[in-house]
Structure 1
Amino acid sequence: MKRISIKPVWTIQGGDAGNLSPRLIELLTAVHTEGSLLAACQKLGMSYRHAWDLVRAGEAHFNTTLLHMERGKGSTLSPLAEKLVWADLRIMARLQPILDSLASELSHEIAKVGSLGDSAFRLHASYGFSIEKLIEQLLEQGQQVARRYASSTAAAAGLHDGACEACGIHIPFGSQQARALEHYAQWLSAPDLMLVDISTRRQGLMVAPGNPKKIYDLNDLTREDVRFINRPADSGTRFLLEGLLGERRISGAEIAGFEQSEATHASVAAFVASGLADAGFGLERPARYFQLDFIPMVNERYFLICHEATLQHPVMQKTLSILADPDFKSSVNALPGYDSTHSGQITPLKEAFAENAFTPAA
């Protein structure tokens, strides 16, 4: 099956200077991450002269400075350049899972009209960084996987409706586990369902570096000086957060920004990192990536669910092999907040939660 990738490209039009090259944003983003124009050029394989031409064209277009150069101190982005870079980071964080799903669907459609037929293994999964690594390994090893990133609810419903061979969802440990199991039971009623562990992961509060607003618990989100950015209403993380707030008798109406949402954990982190919100709730890995402080609150179990017979499918057999591989486990353990100790463990779903027996809906 052909591997397709889809990337968004900026088009900046208008003004006497004409249209800008989309590589300008790529260059400014590289300066932001690498710390100097020279290092950015090396990362992008771009000549120093061409980079300066892009910067000068951008400055002429916007009629303002984009880059400050100081001998011995590297390169510093101007306020406008910072805004452009953070906008690009938010765009990528928001769209990447969607674009990955669309690319996979397109690959699947091309395969259906080619010699491969309609043979791809369909996987619907809540987006996360361990499942992303697993899918990447499967594709690198030539497995035909049609992935679709969706909410945990939509993924579970997809398995129930026969729209996929396996689904990936997450369930919290602790006080919110029983509530989550009850929620998903309506779609996970088949008696032969099996659970395949991938990893555990941490969710919590993302706040600005140094935590200037002194946000340490969910109660702090109700303060008038705190702006919050949420996840979409149908997401598993939003469902978890609402349960945690309910334990504390906190209403979403008490939190400024509660109804404003970003589509992914990474876009929540980027939103906070760019100063548009003071706090978000999500995974530790994107918080660390965007150099935010992180206050852990809940550990979760991320896993695949499939029918018992599906375990014999060649793609599932390869999946189990990858999950047991020490190199894969190490790559997951390197993700902040992730642990792969039980990766590849298979358990009947009805036996998988000893502290809260899973009772499928009748």
Structure 2
Amino acid sequence: MKRIMITPAWSFSDEAGNQIAPALFLLLEAVHRHGKLTRAAEDVGISYRHAWNLLKRWGEFFGIALVELERGRGARLSPLGEKLLWAEQRVNARLGPQLESLGSELNLAIEQQLKGMQPVLRLHASHGFAVELLPKHLRGLRLDLQYCSPREALAALNRGACDLAGFHLPRGEVGKAVSRNYRDLLKRRSHRAIGFISRRQGLMVALGNPRGISGVKALADRTVRFINRQEASGTRALFDSLLAEADISASHIHGYETEEYTHSAVAAYVAAGMADAGFGVEAAAQRFGLDFVPLAMEDYLFICHQRSLAEPNLIAILALLRDTLFQKAVEGLPGYSPHRCGVIMHVDAL
């Protein structure tokens, strides 16, 4: 099946019009991961000579080497090489979900034009690594996936703009506080909840945790730089509840007002050395080579209308959630578990 994929791209040009080749970013990431230019070139699928020439060319372009090679010690990114790599990763992390949502809309419109109306499941959900797995495993049913805040997703369900709304609730007393943000949008008689996954949320810190950050109280130290999630996100609601539980004022946290829009974007921000800590899921921390301080467990749930449970598109998604292969894919995500995956519940049980 032909599908549109929208990916962010950016260029760095000089007066002569020379522009950075996209392959350079792949090579920098591979050098960072392997620490050897030979392994990096092999990983990217180019010859050692081509990799060397690519680094030489763009080192001359900037006037500073991008990779430092030492006999017997392999290769490592120079400070400029690190900045370029983290800048590219932050662009992908920040724009990826929005572009994925746009791509979903365009693919659906094109397929309906070419093939006529096909079964479609409209899912509005808070962004997450497990949600990203759904389009890869769903067969025989088109998924119109739109990323938005939990309140936006539930509001869309109530006005008939989607079939499923995805949001997450922390466990314990903190969860009771967060749930107040959504109670006015949940209808106990007509709504039903579908279990999806559980995941760990916590603080993402540099490898080795050099600042010794062990919890939210450490963030009140004004020398600790923090990167936050956007105000409407469920993760921000969880973080604010943890601050309230610890009796910490947001005004005491350096960087509280600085926001990113995905877990990966927060992780990239910390990995780039622009913050000492950020709040998000364990999977994002591991993806960017960070350490993780777990602080809360939460359940990610889907909400639908009870009457929709007998419709073919809901039957199909329930079958996927209960499928062993899909649940194993969820278990492969650090900090994730297919908790009550595919189990239908009354909203009063949340």
**Shorter-chain TM-score tier:** over 0.9
Name 1:152's counterpart in structure 2.
150
Matched, 1:102 2:102: yes
Aligned length: 350
Cα distance in 2 for residues equivalent to 1:2 and 1:157:
32
Name 1:316's counterpart in structure 2.
314
Name 2:136's counterpart in structure 1.
136
Matched, 1:239 2:237: yes
Aligned 8 A contact 2:157 2:304 in 1? yes
Aligned 8 A contact 2:174 2:245 in 1? no
Q: Helix, strand or coil: the match of 1:310?
A: helix
- Quickly say closer, same or farther: Cα 1:186–1:341, change in 2 above 3 A: closer
Counterpart mapping for 1:67-82 below 5 A: 67-82=67-82
Matched, 1:56 2:56: yes
Name 1:42's counterpart in structure 2.
42
Name 1:302's counterpart in structure 2.
300
**Farther off after superposition, 302-311 or 225-234:** 302-311
Q: Helix, strand or coil: the match of 2:213?
A: coil
- Normalised to the residue count of structure 2, the TM-score between the two structures is 0.94
Cα distance in 1 for residues equivalent to 2:222 and 2:346:
47
Name 1:229's counterpart in structure 2.
227
Cα distance in 2 for residues equivalent to 1:32 and 1:308:
50
- Quickly say closer, same or farther: Cα 1:23–1:216, change in 2 above 3 A: same
Name 1:356's counterpart in structure 2.
none
Cα distance in 1 for residues equivalent to 2:345 and 2:127:
22
1:187 maps to amino acid = L
Cα distance in 2 for residues equivalent to 1:122 and 1:160:
13
Name 2:180's counterpart in structure 1.
182
Name 1:284's counterpart in structure 2.
282
Shift of residue 119, structure 1, vs aligned partner: 4.6
Name 1:266's counterpart in structure 2.
264
Give a deviation string over 1:279-304, Cα, whole Å, max 9, x none.
11111111122222211111101011
Gaps of 5+ in 1: 354-362
Matched, 1:91 2:103: no
Cα distance in 1 for residues equivalent to 2:293 and 2:115:
51
Aligned structure 1 segments of 4 or more residues deviating by more than 4 angstroms? none
Identity rate, percent: 43
Counterpart mapping for 1:213-228 below 5 A: 213-228=211-226
Cα distance in 2 for residues equivalent to 1:315 and 1:74:
53
Shift of residue 194, structure 1, vs aligned partner: 1.3
**Farther off after superposition, 20-29 or 281-290:** 20-29
Considering only aligned residues, what root-mean-square deviation do their CA atoms show, in Å? 1.8
- Quickly say closer, same or farther: Cα 1:168–1:16, change in 2 above 3 A: same
**Farther off after superposition, 201-210 or 166-175:** 201-210
Shift of residue 180, structure 1, vs aligned partner: 2.5
Give a deviation string over 1:238-294, Cα, whole Å, max 9, x none.
111111211222221111100001111111111111111111111111112222221
Give a deviation string over 1:73-117, Cα, whole Å, max 9, x none.
332211111110111111111121111111101112223433333
Cα distance in 2 for residues equivalent to 1:17 and 1:38:
30
Cα distance in 2 for residues equivalent to 1:55 and 1:79:
14
Gaps of 5+ in 2: none
**Farther off after superposition, 304-313 or 122-131:** 304-313
Counterpart mapping for 1:334-349 below 5 A: 334-349=332-347
Shift of residue 16, structure 1, vs aligned partner: 4.9
